[in-house]
């Protein structure tokens, strides 16, 4: 008890956040836009006894929030008092603000909280997944994930379908995953159907196929797409259309399982037809909130898996620890670590192999920041 009490005296000495811009390895085209690079925020929290914790927040706005608002509030605070730190940094609810900064600040706080978990792991000599309760499986489960072909390449529908089938086959071979998931909703409905059929022919009957539409279809387009791919046995379509009610309608019309990014539990409970929820620490404000949310989703009899949001090595490490810890995540989550030019950590990238990732038995997240890479990609 004396040791624990002493540890809880550990204080935050400094908080720094760095905005980085990292190119992607292939143009990432999907229903909303296309990407040639990604933005992320690397978070460093140092304690008064010299421990450095690493975190990562998604997006190009988090560094400013952390450096200008959170950092002055957190100096001298206990690392272990997550609840108090959250109250210091965030409003009690979105309604305390009345404008959209709350979700942005929640996202920024998630990166900070990951760094605090890293510190506690290093202080206690435990991996993050052990701090969370231990490993529920041998490795965190991840599928092979891909964006679609950029329409500006000017390829015919047949060539687009063949290209996506080649990407699928290569991805499954490299990752050993049992599921291939990719973006739809950007090309014509007939082209999207052709892509799915070509991928199914390439992968054979034993690999599961899922699609992510980013609400790129109308209800009629989604219906025609799913009817046209019925013989391909899609295991899930993520956010085929806009609106929870419309997503549920697609499920009822076609029988194909559907998933959403919605984190409103009341709204989710009102839509029993929606099978699954896909989310990540950034949307929920950190690992602690995410864990509570997963339990609540499970109580609603819905499945849950992790959403990839262009994490670099630090954020990706957190996902791997969560994935190996939570027994509820029994379906392969999304992975984009192979789509970024550099993960900004020292040593080998934690690529998906044999269908998943086993974090190393090192304290905390188990990663170390590559400072040369940080300087190369840092914007401020």
Residues in CB range of 350: below 8 A, 6 or more apart: 313, 316, 317, 320, 337, 343, 357, 359
The structure's pTM equals: 0.94
Per DSSP, the three-state class of 371 is helix
Cα→Cα distances 304→140, 269, 271, 301, Å: 13, 14, 15, 10
Query: Where do the structural domains in the chain lie, given as residue ranges?
Result: 2-125, 131-370
CB-CB contact of 34 with 28 (8 Å): yes
CATH class of segment(s) 2-125: alpha beta
Q: What superfamily would CATH give domain 131-370?
A: Enolase-like C-terminal domain (3.20.20.120)
- State pLDDT tens for residues 207-255: 999 999 999 999 999 999 999 999 999 999 999 999 999 999 999 999 9
Pairing of strands 234-238, 208-212: parallel
- What do you get for the CA distance between the two ends of the chain, in Å? 43
Instruction: Check whether 4 has a pLDDT greater than 60.
Output: no
Asked whether this chain's domains 2-125 and 131-370 adopt the same fold, the reply is no
- State pLDDT tens for residues 15-37: 999 999 999 998 888 887 788 99
- State pLDDT tens for residues 286-319: 999 999 999 999 999 999 999 998 999 999 999 9
For the residues 277-289, what does the mean pLDDT come to? 95
Cα–Cα dist 141/337, whole Å = 14
């Amino acid at each position: 008890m004396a040791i624990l009490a002493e540890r809880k005296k550990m204080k935050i000495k400094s908080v720094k956040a760095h905005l980085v811009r990292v190119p992607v390895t292939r143009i990432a085209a999907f229903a909303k836009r296309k990407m040639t690079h990604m933005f992320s925020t690397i978070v460093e929290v140092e304690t008064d006894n010299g421990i450095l914790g690493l975190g990562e927040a998604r997006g190009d706005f988090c560094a400013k929030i952390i450096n200008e608002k959170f950092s002055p509030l957190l100096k001298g605070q206990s690392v272990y008092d997550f609840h108090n730190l959250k109250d210091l940094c965030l409003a009690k609810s979105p309604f305390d603000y009345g404008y959209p900064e709350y979700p942005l600040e929640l996202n920024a706080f998630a990166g900070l909280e990951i760094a605090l978990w890293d510190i506690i792991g290093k202080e206690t000599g435990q991996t993050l997944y052990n701090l969370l309760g231990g490993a529920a499986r041998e490795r965190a489960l991840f599928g092979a994930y891909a964006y679609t072909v950029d329409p500006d390449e000017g390829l015919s529908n047949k060539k687009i379908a063949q290209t996506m089938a080649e990407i699928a086959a290569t991805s499954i071979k490299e990752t050993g995953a049992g599921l291939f998931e990719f973006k739809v909703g950007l090309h014509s409905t007939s082209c999207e159907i052709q892509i799915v059929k070509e991928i199914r022919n390439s992968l054979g009957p034993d690999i599961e196929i899922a699609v992510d539409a980013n609400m790129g279809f109308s209800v009629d387009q989604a219906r025609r797409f799913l009817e046209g791919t019925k013989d391909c046995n899609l295991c899930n379509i993520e956010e085929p259309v806009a609106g929870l009610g419309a997503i549920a309608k697609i499920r009822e019309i076609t029988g194909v399982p559907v998933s959403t990014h919605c984190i409103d539990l009341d709204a989710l409970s009102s839509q029993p037809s929606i099978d699954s929820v896909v989310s990540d620490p950034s949307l929920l404000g950190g690992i602690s909130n995410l864990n509570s949310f997963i339990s609540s989703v499970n109580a609603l009899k819905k499945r849950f898996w992790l959403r990839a949001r262009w994490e670099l090595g630090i954020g990706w490490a957190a996902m791997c620890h969560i994935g190996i810890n939570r027994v509820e995540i029994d379906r392969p989550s999304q992975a984009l670590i192979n789509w970024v030019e550099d993960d900004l950590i020292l040593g080998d990238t934690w690529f998906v192999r044999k269908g998943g990732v086993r974090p190393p038995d090192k304290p905390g997240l188990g990663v170390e920041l590559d400072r040369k890479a940080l300087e190369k990609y840092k914007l401020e």
